[in-house]
Protein backbone atom coordinates (compact mmCIF):
# COMPACT_ATOMS: atom_id res chain seq x y z
CA UNK A 1 0.00 0.00 0.00
CA UNK A 2 2.73 2.42 1.03
CA UNK A 3 4.86 1.32 -1.90
CA UNK A 4 2.05 1.92 -4.38
CA UNK A 5 1.56 5.39 -3.02
CA UNK A 6 5.27 6.10 -3.44
CA UNK A 7 5.20 4.92 -7.04
CA UNK A 8 2.17 7.11 -7.60
CA UNK A 9 4.05 10.13 -6.34
CA UNK A 10 7.07 9.27 -8.46
CA UNK A 11 4.86 8.93 -11.50
CA UNK A 12 3.49 12.39 -10.82
CA UNK A 13 6.99 13.85 -10.56
CA UNK A 14 8.00 12.18 -13.81
CA UNK A 15 4.98 13.34 -15.73
CA UNK A 16 5.34 16.88 -14.40
CA UNK A 17 8.99 16.81 -15.48
CA UNK A 18 7.80 15.53 -18.84
CA UNK A 19 5.70 18.67 -19.36
CA UNK A 20 8.82 20.76 -19.17
CA UNK A 21 10.79 18.56 -21.49
CA UNK A 22 11.42 21.09 -24.24
CA UNK A 23 11.46 24.16 -22.10
CA UNK A 24 14.24 23.16 -19.73
CA UNK A 25 16.24 20.76 -21.86
CA UNK A 26 17.57 18.87 -18.85
CA UNK A 27 14.19 17.87 -17.46
CA UNK A 28 14.10 14.75 -19.58
CA UNK A 29 17.41 13.53 -18.24
CA UNK A 30 16.30 14.18 -14.69
CA UNK A 31 13.15 12.26 -15.35
CA UNK A 32 14.98 9.24 -16.67
CA UNK A 33 17.34 9.25 -13.69
CA UNK A 34 14.55 9.09 -11.16
CA UNK A 35 13.30 5.56 -11.62
CA UNK A 36 13.96 4.18 -15.09
CA UNK A 37 12.03 0.95 -14.53
CA UNK A 38 8.74 2.79 -14.03
CA UNK A 39 6.95 3.26 -17.30
CA UNK A 40 4.67 6.27 -17.21
CA UNK A 41 1.80 6.53 -19.62
CA UNK A 42 1.77 10.12 -20.65
CA UNK A 43 -1.80 11.33 -21.08
CA UNK A 44 -2.84 12.82 -24.41
CA UNK A 45 -3.29 16.25 -22.80
CA UNK A 46 0.34 16.16 -21.74
CA UNK A 47 1.44 15.54 -25.33
CA UNK A 48 -0.63 18.44 -26.56
CA UNK A 49 0.89 20.71 -23.92
CA UNK A 50 4.36 19.48 -24.77
CA UNK A 51 3.73 20.46 -28.38
CA UNK A 52 2.63 23.91 -27.41
CA UNK A 53 5.66 24.94 -25.39
CA UNK A 54 7.72 27.94 -26.30
CA UNK A 55 8.63 27.67 -29.96
CA UNK A 56 11.82 29.67 -29.74
CA UNK A 57 13.32 27.14 -27.42
CA UNK A 58 12.27 24.23 -29.58
CA UNK A 59 14.23 25.72 -32.45
CA UNK A 60 17.46 25.72 -30.50
CA UNK A 61 17.35 21.98 -29.96
CA UNK A 62 18.93 19.76 -32.59
CA UNK A 63 16.38 17.38 -34.03
CA UNK A 64 18.52 14.38 -33.09
CA UNK A 65 18.23 15.30 -29.41
CA UNK A 66 14.48 15.60 -29.40
CA UNK A 67 12.34 12.76 -28.02
CA UNK A 68 13.55 9.26 -28.90
CA UNK A 69 11.66 7.85 -31.87
CA UNK A 70 8.83 5.69 -30.66
CA UNK A 71 5.84 3.95 -32.11
CA UNK A 72 2.99 5.97 -33.59
CA UNK A 73 0.71 7.35 -30.94
CA UNK A 74 -2.19 4.97 -30.50
CA UNK A 75 -4.38 7.60 -28.89
CA UNK A 76 -5.11 9.18 -32.27
CA UNK A 77 -7.88 7.47 -34.18
CA UNK A 78 -6.60 6.56 -37.62
CA UNK A 79 -8.34 6.65 -40.97
CA UNK A 80 -9.59 3.56 -42.71
CA UNK A 81 -7.39 4.17 -45.70
CA UNK A 82 -4.92 2.33 -47.84
CA UNK A 83 -2.81 3.47 -50.75
CA UNK A 84 -4.29 0.63 -52.81
CA UNK A 85 -7.41 2.77 -53.33
CA UNK A 86 -5.41 5.49 -55.02
CA UNK A 87 -4.79 5.75 -58.74
CA UNK A 88 -1.38 6.92 -59.88
CA UNK A 89 -0.94 10.67 -60.26
CA UNK A 90 -2.28 11.81 -63.61
CA UNK A 91 -2.27 15.59 -63.57
CA UNK A 92 -4.72 16.44 -60.78
CA UNK A 93 -3.10 17.51 -57.48
CA UNK A 94 -5.61 15.50 -55.43
CA UNK A 95 -8.25 12.81 -55.66
CA UNK A 96 -11.35 12.38 -53.48
CA UNK A 97 -11.54 9.34 -51.21
CA UNK A 98 -14.59 7.51 -49.82
CA UNK A 99 -16.95 9.74 -51.84
CA UNK A 100 -15.42 12.74 -50.12
CA UNK A 101 -16.76 11.61 -46.71
CA UNK A 102 -14.19 11.71 -43.90
CA UNK A 103 -13.63 8.75 -41.58
CA UNK A 104 -14.29 10.54 -38.27
CA UNK A 105 -16.19 8.65 -35.60
CA UNK A 106 -19.71 9.72 -34.62
CA UNK A 107 -18.45 10.60 -31.11
CA UNK A 108 -15.81 12.93 -32.53
CA UNK A 109 -18.24 14.57 -34.93
CA UNK A 110 -20.01 16.27 -32.03
CA UNK A 111 -16.88 17.50 -30.24
CA UNK A 112 -16.59 21.23 -29.70
CA UNK A 113 -13.48 21.22 -27.51
CA UNK A 114 -10.25 22.60 -28.94
CA UNK A 115 -7.55 19.97 -29.34
CA UNK A 116 -4.53 19.22 -31.46
CA UNK A 117 -2.57 16.01 -31.20
CA UNK A 118 0.47 14.85 -33.09
CA UNK A 119 1.96 11.38 -33.42
CA UNK A 120 5.41 10.73 -32.11
CA UNK A 121 8.01 10.20 -34.82
CA UNK A 122 8.41 6.52 -35.67
CA UNK A 123 11.69 4.59 -35.58
CA UNK A 124 12.59 6.00 -39.03
CA UNK A 125 11.98 9.55 -37.81
CA UNK A 126 8.75 9.88 -39.78
CA UNK A 127 5.66 11.84 -38.84
CA UNK A 128 2.34 10.12 -38.31
CA UNK A 129 -1.26 11.27 -38.22
CA UNK A 130 -2.00 14.77 -36.91
CA UNK A 131 -5.48 15.51 -35.59
CA UNK A 132 -7.10 18.73 -34.46
CA UNK A 133 -10.39 20.42 -33.81
CA UNK A 134 -9.69 23.68 -35.61
CA UNK A 135 -11.24 26.76 -34.04
CA UNK A 136 -10.34 30.37 -33.37
CA UNK A 137 -8.54 29.62 -30.13
CA UNK A 138 -5.98 27.41 -31.91
CA UNK A 139 -5.21 29.92 -34.62
CA UNK A 140 -1.94 31.84 -34.48
CA UNK A 141 -1.80 35.30 -33.00
CA UNK A 142 1.90 35.85 -33.60
CA UNK A 143 4.00 36.06 -36.73
CA UNK A 144 5.30 32.80 -38.01
CA UNK A 145 8.85 32.00 -36.87
CA UNK A 146 11.76 30.19 -38.47
CA UNK A 147 11.35 26.45 -39.17
CA UNK A 148 14.67 25.80 -40.89
CA UNK A 149 16.02 23.92 -37.86
CA UNK A 150 13.69 20.99 -38.47
CA UNK A 151 14.86 18.27 -40.85
CA UNK A 152 11.91 16.02 -41.67
CA UNK A 153 12.57 12.45 -42.81
CA UNK A 154 13.92 12.30 -46.38
CA UNK A 155 14.82 15.99 -46.33
CA UNK A 156 17.12 17.32 -49.07
CA UNK A 157 17.73 20.84 -50.22
CA UNK A 158 17.11 20.53 -53.93
CA UNK A 159 17.11 23.64 -56.09
CA UNK A 160 15.56 23.31 -59.55
CA UNK A 161 15.28 27.02 -60.15
CA UNK A 162 14.29 26.78 -63.80
CA UNK A 163 11.90 23.92 -63.32
CA UNK A 164 10.11 24.42 -60.03
CA UNK A 165 8.08 27.50 -59.22
CA UNK A 166 9.73 28.86 -56.07
CA UNK A 167 13.02 27.11 -56.98
CA UNK A 168 13.11 24.46 -54.27
CA UNK A 169 11.64 21.02 -54.81
CA UNK A 170 10.95 20.42 -51.13
CA UNK A 171 9.20 22.51 -48.53
CA UNK A 172 8.96 21.79 -44.83
CA UNK A 173 5.32 21.07 -45.22
CA UNK A 174 3.00 21.45 -42.20
CA UNK A 175 0.53 18.63 -41.71
CA UNK A 176 -1.82 20.90 -39.78
CA UNK A 177 -1.18 24.22 -41.53
CA UNK A 178 0.36 26.98 -39.48
CA UNK A 179 -2.56 29.27 -40.28
CA UNK A 180 -4.90 26.73 -38.64
CA UNK A 181 -2.94 25.59 -35.62
CA UNK A 182 -0.21 28.09 -34.86
CA UNK A 183 2.07 25.05 -34.74
CA UNK A 184 5.35 26.01 -36.28
CA UNK A 185 8.72 24.36 -35.65
CA UNK A 186 7.12 21.19 -34.33
CA UNK A 187 8.93 18.23 -35.90
CA UNK A 188 5.84 16.05 -35.41
CA UNK A 189 3.97 18.36 -37.76
CA UNK A 190 6.48 18.85 -40.61
CA UNK A 191 7.10 16.49 -43.49
CA UNK A 192 9.23 16.65 -46.61
CA UNK A 193 6.64 17.81 -49.11
CA UNK A 194 7.00 19.06 -52.65
CA UNK A 195 6.27 22.65 -53.49
CA UNK A 196 3.39 21.32 -55.58
CA UNK A 197 1.91 19.35 -52.66
CA UNK A 198 2.24 22.32 -50.35
CA UNK A 199 0.88 25.06 -52.58
CA UNK A 200 -1.24 23.43 -55.26
CA UNK A 201 -2.43 20.37 -53.34
CA UNK A 202 -2.91 21.27 -49.67
CA UNK A 203 -3.17 25.04 -49.46
CA UNK A 204 -6.62 25.43 -51.08
CA UNK A 205 -8.09 22.98 -48.53
CA UNK A 206 -6.35 24.74 -45.65
CA UNK A 207 -7.71 28.05 -46.89
CA UNK A 208 -11.22 26.63 -47.07
CA UNK A 209 -11.07 25.55 -43.42
CA UNK A 210 -9.43 28.80 -42.36
CA UNK A 211 -12.04 30.96 -44.12
CA UNK A 212 -14.90 28.92 -42.70
CA UNK A 213 -13.65 29.09 -39.10
CA UNK A 214 -12.85 32.79 -39.47
CA UNK A 215 -16.32 33.63 -40.70
CA UNK A 216 -18.40 31.34 -38.47
CA UNK A 217 -16.37 30.80 -35.30
CA UNK A 218 -17.35 27.11 -35.59
CA UNK A 219 -15.15 24.04 -35.14
CA UNK A 220 -13.73 21.88 -37.92
CA UNK A 221 -12.48 18.39 -37.18
CA UNK A 222 -9.32 18.14 -39.21
CA UNK A 223 -6.99 15.22 -39.68
CA UNK A 224 -3.95 14.93 -41.92
CA UNK A 225 -2.24 11.59 -42.38
CA UNK A 226 1.06 11.31 -44.25
CA UNK A 227 1.07 8.07 -46.24
CA UNK A 228 4.42 6.32 -46.46
CA UNK A 229 4.92 3.23 -48.59
CA UNK A 230 7.01 0.59 -46.79
CA UNK A 231 10.10 2.15 -45.27
CA UNK A 232 10.16 5.16 -47.58
CA UNK A 233 11.39 8.34 -45.91
CA UNK A 234 9.31 10.61 -48.14
CA UNK A 235 5.52 10.32 -48.04
CA UNK A 236 3.75 9.38 -51.26
CA UNK A 237 1.00 11.81 -50.34
CA UNK A 238 -1.24 12.98 -47.53
CA UNK A 239 -4.83 12.16 -46.68
CA UNK A 240 -6.73 15.29 -45.61
CA UNK A 241 -10.09 15.00 -43.86
CA UNK A 242 -12.31 17.78 -42.56
CA UNK A 243 -15.80 18.09 -41.09
CA UNK A 244 -17.48 21.20 -39.69
CA UNK A 245 -19.03 20.25 -36.37
CA UNK A 246 -21.80 22.77 -35.61
CA UNK A 247 -23.51 22.39 -38.99
CA UNK A 248 -22.82 18.67 -39.46
CA UNK A 249 -20.45 19.10 -42.39
CA UNK A 250 -22.62 21.50 -44.39
CA UNK A 251 -19.98 24.23 -44.22
CA UNK A 252 -16.88 22.11 -44.74
CA UNK A 253 -16.55 18.45 -45.54
CA UNK A 254 -13.87 16.71 -47.52
CA UNK A 255 -11.77 13.60 -47.71
CA UNK A 256 -8.98 13.94 -50.24
CA UNK A 257 -5.63 12.42 -51.02
CA UNK A 258 -3.03 14.95 -52.20
CA UNK A 259 -0.11 13.63 -54.21
CA UNK A 260 3.40 14.43 -53.00
CA UNK A 261 4.70 14.87 -56.53
CA UNK A 262 6.31 17.62 -58.53
CA UNK A 263 5.77 17.99 -62.26
CA UNK A 264 9.12 17.76 -64.09
CA UNK A 265 10.88 15.99 -61.22
CA UNK A 266 11.40 12.29 -60.51
CA UNK A 267 11.56 11.52 -56.78
CA UNK A 268 13.04 8.48 -55.08
CA UNK A 269 10.62 8.20 -52.16
CA UNK A 270 12.87 5.77 -50.29
CA UNK A 271 15.57 8.39 -49.79
CA UNK A 272 14.29 11.75 -50.99
CA UNK A 273 16.86 11.89 -53.80
CA UNK A 274 15.52 13.47 -56.97
CA UNK A 275 16.35 14.28 -60.57
CA UNK A 276 14.98 16.18 -63.50
CA UNK A 277 12.51 14.17 -65.56
CA UNK A 278 13.33 13.46 -69.19
CA UNK A 279 11.72 16.10 -71.41
CA UNK A 280 11.08 18.49 -68.51
CA UNK A 281 9.88 21.95 -69.52
CA UNK A 282 11.14 24.94 -67.58
CA UNK A 283 8.77 27.25 -65.74
CA UNK A 284 9.58 29.88 -68.38
CA UNK A 285 8.67 27.54 -71.23
CA UNK A 286 5.42 26.66 -69.50
CA UNK A 287 4.66 30.37 -69.18
CA UNK A 288 5.36 30.94 -72.87
CA UNK A 289 2.93 28.21 -73.82
CA UNK A 290 0.28 29.67 -71.47
CA UNK A 291 0.83 33.10 -73.05
CA UNK A 292 0.52 31.60 -76.52
CA UNK A 293 -2.82 30.09 -75.51
CA UNK A 294 -4.00 33.47 -74.23
CA UNK A 295 -2.87 35.21 -77.42
CA UNK A 296 -5.07 32.99 -79.53
CA UNK A 297 -8.16 32.92 -77.30
CA UNK A 298 -11.29 34.41 -78.85
CA UNK A 299 -12.74 36.89 -76.35
CA UNK A 300 -14.44 40.30 -76.16
CA UNK A 301 -12.42 43.50 -76.32
CA UNK A 302 -13.31 47.18 -76.54
CA UNK A 303 -11.23 49.26 -78.95
CA UNK A 304 -10.49 52.94 -78.89
CA UNK A 305 -10.16 53.74 -82.57
CA UNK A 306 -8.65 57.13 -81.74
CA UNK A 307 -5.83 56.06 -79.37
CA UNK A 308 -5.47 52.62 -81.01
CA UNK A 309 -5.62 50.90 -77.61
CA UNK A 310 -7.66 47.83 -76.78
CA UNK A 311 -9.31 47.13 -73.41
CA UNK A 312 -11.20 44.48 -71.52
CA UNK A 313 -14.94 45.31 -71.48
CA UNK A 314 -14.77 46.04 -67.72
CA UNK A 315 -11.85 48.49 -67.91
CA UNK A 316 -12.53 51.87 -66.29
CA UNK A 317 -11.25 53.63 -69.41
CA UNK A 318 -14.13 52.18 -71.43
CA UNK A 319 -16.75 54.33 -69.68
CA UNK A 320 -14.60 57.43 -70.23
CA UNK A 321 -14.32 56.73 -73.93
CA UNK A 322 -16.19 58.88 -76.47
CA UNK A 323 -18.85 56.87 -78.25
CA UNK A 324 -17.53 57.78 -81.70
CA UNK A 325 -14.15 56.21 -80.81
CA UNK A 326 -15.59 53.12 -79.15
CA UNK A 327 -15.74 49.85 -81.03
CA UNK A 328 -16.54 46.34 -79.82
CA UNK A 329 -14.40 43.50 -81.03
CA UNK A 330 -14.78 39.72 -80.67
CA UNK A 331 -11.59 37.90 -81.58
CA UNK A 332 -8.01 37.28 -80.52
CA UNK A 333 -5.35 39.52 -79.07
CA UNK A 334 -3.08 38.50 -81.89
CA UNK A 335 -5.48 39.88 -84.54
CA UNK A 336 -5.70 43.24 -82.77
CA UNK A 337 -1.95 43.58 -82.48
CA UNK A 338 -1.65 42.76 -86.18
CA UNK A 339 -4.16 45.57 -86.85
CA UNK A 340 -1.83 48.03 -85.11
CA UNK A 341 -3.57 48.10 -81.70
CA UNK A 342 -1.74 48.08 -78.36
CA UNK A 343 -3.01 46.66 -75.08
CA UNK A 344 -4.17 49.19 -72.50
CA UNK A 345 -1.69 49.62 -69.66
CA UNK A 346 -4.48 49.92 -67.10
CA UNK A 347 -6.50 46.74 -67.67
CA UNK A 348 -3.67 44.82 -69.30
CA UNK A 349 -5.94 42.80 -71.62
Residues that bind Zn ion (CB under 5 A): 311, 315, 317, 344, 346-347
Q: Are strands 342-343 and 309-311 parallel, antiparallel or unpaired?
A: parallel
* Distance separating the N- and C-terminal Cα atoms of the chain: 84
Q: Are strands 309-311 and 116-118 parallel, antiparallel or unpaired?
A: unpaired
For the bound state, the minimum distance from the C-beta of residue 314 to Zn ion, rounded and expressed in Å, comes to 9
Alpha-carbon span 97 to 116, nearest angstrom: 23
When the beta carbons of 144 and 346 are compared against Zn ion, the nearer one is: 346
When the beta carbons of 296 and 314 are compared against Zn ion, the nearer one is: 314
When the beta carbons of 136 and 346 are compared against Zn ion, the nearer one is: 346
For the bound state, the minimum distance from the C-beta of residue 346 to Zn ion, rounded and expressed in Å, comes to 4
When the beta carbons of 149 and 317 are compared against Zn ion, the nearer one is: 317
Name the E strands within the chain: 94-96, 116-118, 130-134, 170-174, 190-194, 220-227, 237-244, 253-259, 265-267, 274-276, 299-304, 309-311, 326-331, 342-343
When the beta carbons of 161 and 346 are compared against Zn ion, the nearer one is: 346
For the bound state, the minimum distance from the C-beta of residue 331 to Zn ion, rounded and expressed in Å, comes to 17
For the bound state, the minimum distance from the C-beta of residue 341 to Zn ion, rounded and expressed in Å, comes to 12
Q: Any residues with CB less than 8 A from the CB of 24 and at least 6 apart, and which?
A: none
Alpha helices (H) along 199-344 = 203-216, 283-295, 316-320, 333-338
For the bound state, the minimum distance from the C-beta of residue 319 to Zn ion, rounded and expressed in Å, comes to 11
For the bound state, the minimum distance from the C-beta of residue 287 to Zn ion, rounded and expressed in Å, comes to 23
Alpha-carbon span 295 to 181, nearest angstrom: 43
For the bound state, the minimum distance from the C-beta of residue 318 to Zn ion, rounded and expressed in Å, comes to 7
CB 52 within 8 A of CB 76: no
For the bound state, the minimum distance from the C-beta of residue 121 to Zn ion, rounded and expressed in Å, comes to 55
When the beta carbons of 100 and 314 are compared against Zn ion, the nearer one is: 314
Alpha-carbon span 232 to 109, nearest angstrom: 32
- Report phi then psi at 242, rounded to 5: -150, 150
For the bound state, the minimum distance from the C-beta of residue 324 to Zn ion, rounded and expressed in Å, comes to 18
When the beta carbons of 20 and 343 are compared against Zn ion, the nearer one is: 343
When the beta carbons of 213 and 344 are compared against Zn ion, the nearer one is: 344
Residues facing residue 223 across a β-bridge: 131, 241
Q: How many CB atoms lie within 10 A of CB 45?
A: 11
When the beta carbons of 279 and 345 are compared against Zn ion, the nearer one is: 345
Candidates 256, 251, 265; CA nearest to 219 is 251
Alpha-carbon span 110 to 104, nearest angstrom: 10
Amino acid sequence: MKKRLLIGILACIISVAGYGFYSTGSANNEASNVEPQIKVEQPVEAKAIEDKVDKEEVEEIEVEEVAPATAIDEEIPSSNFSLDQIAAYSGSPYITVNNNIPYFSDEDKVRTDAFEIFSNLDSLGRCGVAYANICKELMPTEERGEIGSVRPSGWHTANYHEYVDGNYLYNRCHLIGYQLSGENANEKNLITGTRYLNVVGMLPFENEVDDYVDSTGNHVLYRVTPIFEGNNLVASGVLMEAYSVEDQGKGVMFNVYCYNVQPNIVIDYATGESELAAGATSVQEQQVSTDATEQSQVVDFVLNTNTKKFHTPTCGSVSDMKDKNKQYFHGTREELINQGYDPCGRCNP
